[in-house]
Chain A
């Protein structure tokens, strides 16, 4: 039903020329995958799909397509990124038209792959089940057991500030109270935290997939690419890798919607969300701020007030 509605809305927007193109999801070429598609022709709206494999945050394309009027299909987290980008005044000329899908939470393809012995050749979603098939096996999995952790903890599945919602808002309750990776990280001693962080970062190949997948990473020149001044070397030394990941995370303070796209994009399966989730928790505790909920409030780290807490200065 959601899928049909998306196609209808997309078709209408394109026919009425209210947008230049629709960015949504189409059928992927791999099992458990959907792929971003860019629809300009109303007739092509039929290619748009919706299922639990629509894992990308399509807001990242708004920078690449900033010369166009974009109709963007968004989940709750994606919409929050757009709100956050709007606060940073990214859409002076062409604010996107948001087609919001109250999200059913997305399926973690890696969790599914690890649960099944043998190569998955086909994957289907039927109601609350994921059916995976391969050579000589057919396994039925309970969808809710294979969700992304960032989706399990999500409390804003219904897109805020959407121009149109394709379905009724969903109940805003998390399946898991707080991110287990973050809890674990918080419970460690400083020394253990550093060891964990360094070990995760050590697998980094500096492909910058985490950066490119993230809608909030849009600097004209990222600090890692700058040669004058050169903030960081280009290699894989532990100091460079930890430096990159530390700065990437800190640049997300009070800006990250927790969509999990960075971690999903990483080919080396580096855990990244524990850091950004921790920063989100800090922003909430220190400033009562949640990213992308209030369309007017200034982001906490872009503003200064004399009443701001200063007890961290010692």
Chain B
């Protein structure tokens, strides 16, 4: 089902979403620094940058999230759960790479043995309005990792920017709930043709030559490879790549408590931090940056594919763009492939 959404109707359309749902979309915190936030007004939404610094995962798996609150009142402990999602949610403006990353995290958080109710409740309550990438960045390599700038997988609705208007595609049952939106108009064959041309053009732009195929098997033999002695050298052990990565999903649980009152919180954690694996005894099985860099790469390209049959990288390029020392994961993949 395809419709046209005129640009002049876009703000009223956003307002209709805000009226009916919690709307999450990119907003600029400072010039050039967009993130996903819950929108209060349509004019906060800013789609001018391709991908926000912090990925879509934040909408489903916030960087710091209260799991429950507790308080001791008259010798009784009272607990308040924060699991429930009270209002249906819509995400707008997410790109195919980030949407695919959500499905990767979902694989983990909806596991057979463990289910993550905080993530899954949000996932269930959310409709995703994806958005095509017309101008993939030079650092984008989604076409190498099984995606593409116009891949609809995971989107309930999909927007393609045609200039004067958006082409709206309704793709799922969840998306069907929107088909009666009064701003969705009949579209023309011309628009469909234009969308197709844009798709062909964009698909040529993302790098499909990064050799990730078979990398998981290759790495099987590599745990003790001298390769790791050099790869980590330039890494300064910050957490930029893991926190901005749309698929990294490690967290650490803490109690924030004072006297008789407190809350249990989970915060993103990073395998590049020295303290990630530090044991109570003082022993650290990943003692140096070498082991930690290896972990980051092995998890994405070897351990994860073993369990879930796909690599844990969607080629968004954030870790390349924002690394303070220009550690380039594409170069590492190429090096592994060449050996």
**A269 / chain B contacts, CB cutoff of 8 Å:** 30-33
Q: Tell whether, in the assembled complex, residue A29 and residue B64 are in contact, meaning their CB atoms are under 8 Å apart.
A: no
Proximity string of chain B (31-64) to chain A, C-beta cutoff 8 Å, 1 when within and 0 when not? 1110000000000000000000110000000011
Residues 239 to 285 of chain A near chain B (Cβ within 8 Å): 261, 264-265, 267-269
- A207-B238, A235-B64 are known contacts. Are A35 and B325 too (CB-CB below 8 A)? yes
A119 to B140, CA, bound (A): 12
B233 CB within 8 Å of chain A? yes
Q: Which of B111-119, B220-228, B316-324 lines the interface with chain A?
A: B316-324
The residue that B240 contacts in the complex, of A36, A38, A209, A235, with Cβ under 8 A, is A209
Q: Tell whether, in the assembled complex, residue A212 and residue B138 are in contact, meaning their CB atoms are under 8 Å apart.
A: no
B236 CB within 8 Å of chain A? yes
Q: Tell whether, in the assembled complex, residue B135 and residue A233 are in contact, meaning their CB atoms are under 8 Å apart.
A: no
B99 to chain A, nearest CB (A): 21
Residues 51 to 101 of chain B near chain A (Cβ within 8 Å): 53-54, 63-64
**B328 / chain A contacts, CB cutoff of 8 Å:** 29-30, 35
**A267 / chain B contacts, CB cutoff of 8 Å:** 53, 240, 244, 322
A51 CB within 8 Å of chain B? no
B289 CB within 8 Å of chain A? yes
Q: Tell whether, in the assembled complex, residue A205 and residue B256 are in contact, meaning their CB atoms are under 8 Å apart.
A: no
**A85 / chain B contacts, CB cutoff of 8 Å:** none
Q: Tell whether, in the assembled complex, residue A30 and residue B320 are in contact, meaning their CB atoms are under 8 Å apart.
A: yes
**A33 / chain B contacts, CB cutoff of 8 Å:** 326
**A38 / chain B contacts, CB cutoff of 8 Å:** 230, 233-234
**A264 / chain B contacts, CB cutoff of 8 Å:** 324
A207 to B321, CA, bound (A): 15
The residue that B137 contacts in the complex, of A35, A119, A207, with Cβ under 8 A, is A119
A207 to B244, CA, bound (A): 9
B252 CB within 8 Å of chain A? yes
**A233 / chain B contacts, CB cutoff of 8 Å:** 254, 256, 265
B56 to chain A, nearest CB (A): 15
Proximity string of chain B (125-149) to chain A, C-beta cutoff 8 Å, 1 when within and 0 when not? 0000000000101110000000000
Which of the four size classes fits the interface of chain B? Answer: 35 or more
B331 to chain A, nearest CB (A): 6
In the complex, what residue of chain B is closest to A214 when comparing beta carbons?
B236
**A152 / chain B contacts, CB cutoff of 8 Å:** none
- A29-B328, A56-B325, A203-B33 are known contacts. Are A268 and B64 too (CB-CB below 8 A)? no
Q: Tell whether, in the assembled complex, residue A29 and residue B320 are in contact, meaning their CB atoms are under 8 Å apart.
A: yes
A114 CB within 8 Å of chain B? yes
B275 CB within 8 Å of chain A? yes
A64 to B289, CA, bound (A): 9
Residues 13 to 32 of chain B near chain A (Cβ within 8 Å): 29-32
B3 CB within 8 Å of chain A? no
Q: Tell whether, in the assembled complex, residue B275 and residue A121 are in contact, meaning their CB atoms are under 8 Å apart.
A: no
Residues 285 to 305 of chain A near chain B (Cβ within 8 Å): none
A194 CB within 8 Å of chain B? no
Q: Tell whether, in the assembled complex, residue B64 and residue A236 are in contact, meaning their CB atoms are under 8 Å apart.
A: yes
Q: Tell whether, in the assembled complex, residue B330 and residue A29 are in contact, meaning their CB atoms are under 8 Å apart.
A: yes
B35 to chain A, nearest CB (A): 8
The 4 A-B pairs with the shortest beta carbon distances in the complex, nearest first, are: A235-B64, A265-B324, A35-B326, A209-B238
Write the residues of chain A forming the contact surface with B, with a CB cutoff of 8 angstroms. 28-30, 33-38, 56, 60-61, 64, 110, 113-114, 119, 121, 202-203, 205-209, 211-213, 225, 233-237, 261, 264-265, 267-269
In the complex, 13 of the A-B residue pairs with CB atoms within 8 angstroms, ordered by the A residue number, are A36-B234, A36-B326, A113-B32, A119-B135, A121-B138, A205-B243, A208-B239, A209-B236, A212-B236, A233-B256, A235-B256, A237-B64, A269-B33
Apart from the given pairs A237-B64, A265-B240, 9 other A-B contacts in the complex at a CB distance below 8 Å: A208-B238, A209-B240, A212-B238, A212-B324, A225-B273, A233-B254, A233-B256, A261-B324, A269-B32
